[in-house]
Amino acid sequence: MQDQIRILKQQALNDLQQVDNTESLPGWFRDYLGKKGAVTALLKQLGTVAAEERPQVGKAINDLKTELQDSFDSLQERLRQQKMEKEIASDSIDVTLPGRPFPTGHLHLTTQTLRKIYQIFAEMGFQVYEAPDVETDAYNFQALNIPEYHPARDMWDTFWVNKEVVLRTHTSPGQIRAMKEFGPEPIRVILPGKCYRYEQITPRSEHQFYQVEGLVLGHKIRMTDLIGVMNEFARKMYGSERKTRIRGSYFPFTEPSIEIDMDCILCAGEGCRVCKYTSWLEVAGAGMVHPVVLKNGGYDPDVWSGFAFGMGVERPAMLKHGIRDIRYFYGNNLQFLQQF
Ligand SMILES: [Zn+2]
């Protein structure tokens, strides 16, 4: 057997020496190292070798295999090199031609917008707090001062998983979770994430969309703090020249509640279709955290106060880029995505 290995090695290397072009390489490989090649055939005979010699013979065959493979690889490399040099010399390939560009991906427009929002709030000392998409009725409604009989429940058409479990209709349940996790200590968080509503899909509304909620709790936190934070946000997000205004509003989990508007970024006060000729665009809904919500989160409303706000994510991106249909965000259409 050892003789057989030696002879085969000699023969294989001799044959390899005769190979002088890349086209003949596969033939040699098939004859010696392929599935039906001579080395594989030797390995198959290993069973006939006496048991005490078998480890030694097996090792010899494997060494042969490795050596032949190495010789083959280096010859292949050398021949390819030669072929390329010949082609360059004969001018048949143009080495000055630019390479083919690799198609690279980039972040989704929603992610880009979210990260911009994170950055602005991070500069004001906010941390990102993530809460689950699947919520209980208790967190999504009850703890936020929306009991079962409360008419405000009509504001959200809800995907019910069962009687107690819902796909969250807003990011607000994260407020309660943050309070229970960190409290009673000062809090400054934003709560980004997807929300779900069981409603008809139109160019202006999807059944899923992103929101970013904010929550600040501490001692002597006042409405002026809220307005200051919102002004700072509007100016960093939409431009330092932005003007804002506040209007009274209603949410079950804040008291008092407000809406923050800014002057229309498209028409600069002239009035246009996007601002519905009012010259104002809504930035966020907000308010001072309702005492009942504070209590539900484990904070004593006589000692603690704070504010909360919530805003859309797709909507600002739509405004900024003049996107007319929210459905594009979830359509996986590359022609849309590659523009941003
Ligand atoms: Zn306008």
Domain count, the chain: 2
pLDDT in tens, 163-217: 889 999 999 999 999 999 998 999 999 999 999 998 888 877 788 999 999 999 9
101 within some domain: no
Q: Does one domain contain both 284 and 152?
A: yes
Q: Does one domain contain both 161 and 241?
A: yes
DSSP state of 126: P
Domain of 51 in residue numbering reads as 2-89
Distance 218 CA to ligand 1 centre (A): 37
Q: Does one domain contain both 64 and 125?
A: no
pLDDT above 70: percentage of residues in the chain: 100
Distance 281 CA to ligand 1 centre (A): 8
Q: How confident is the model at residue 261 (pLDDT cuts 50, 70, 90)?
A: very high
Distance 294 CA to ligand 1 centre (A): 38
Number of H helices, E strands in the chain: 11, 9
Q: Does one domain contain both 136 and 78?
A: no
95 within some domain: no
Q: Lay out the sheet containing 305-312: strands in order across.
A: 127-128, 187-196, 208-218, 305-312, 280-289, 254-263, 244-251
CA distances 295 to 41, 103, 300, Å, are 81, 53, 6
Q: Which of 51-65, 134-148, 282-296 is modeled with the greatest confidence?
A: 282-296
pLDDT for 129 beyond 80: yes
Question: Distance between CA 18 and CA 114 in Å, rounded?
Answer: 64
CATH code of the domain covering residue 128:
3.30.930.10
pLDDT value at position 190? 97
DSSP state of 48: G
Distance 231 CA to ligand 1 centre (A): 19
Whether 218 and 340 have beta carbons less than 8 Å apart is answered as no
Is the entire prediction scored with pTM above 0.85?
Answer: no
pLDDT value at position 316? 84
Distance 317 CA to ligand 1 centre (A): 15
Q: How confident is the model at residue 113 (pLDDT cuts 50, 70, 90)?
A: very high
Q: Does one domain contain both 84 and 116?
A: no
104 within some domain: no
Q: Which residues pair with 75 in a beta bridge?
A: none
Q: Does one domain contain both 261 and 187?
A: yes
Distance 230 CA to ligand 1 centre (A): 20
Distance 302 CA to ligand 1 centre (A): 42
pLDDT value at position 291? 96
Distance 154 CA to ligand 1 centre (A): 30
DSSP alpha helices (H): ranges in 46-144? 54-89, 109-123, 137-140
Distance 129 CA to ligand 1 centre (A): 34
Distance 278 CA to ligand 1 centre (A): 7
Q: Does one domain contain both 151 and 280?
A: yes
Residues in the chain: 340
97 within some domain: no
99 within some domain: no
Distance 276 CA to ligand 1 centre (A): 7
pLDDT value at position 155? 72
Distance 85 CA to ligand 1 centre (A): 64
Identity of the residue numbered 50 = A
pLDDT for 154 beyond 80: no
pLDDT for 133 beyond 90: yes
Q: Does one domain contain both 218 and 252?
A: yes
The whole-chain average pLDDT of the chain stands at 90
pLDDT in tens, 98-108: 888 888 889 99
Q: Does one domain contain both 69 and 115?
A: no
Q: Does one domain contain both 131 and 234?
A: yes
Q: Does one domain contain both 150 and 290?
A: yes
Whether 217 and 299 have beta carbons less than 8 Å apart is answered as yes
pLDDT for 47 beyond 80: yes
Q: Which residues pair with 191 in a beta bridge?
A: 213
Q: Does one domain contain both 180 and 85?
A: no
pLDDT in tens, 265-306: 888 778 887 788 898 988 899 999 999 999 999 999 999 999
Bridge pairing between strands 244-251 and 254-263: antiparallel
Distance 219 CA to ligand 1 centre (A): 39
pLDDT value at position 299? 96
72 within some domain: yes
pLDDT value at position 267? 83
* Mean pLDDT (whole number) for 32-38: 89
DSSP state of 91: T
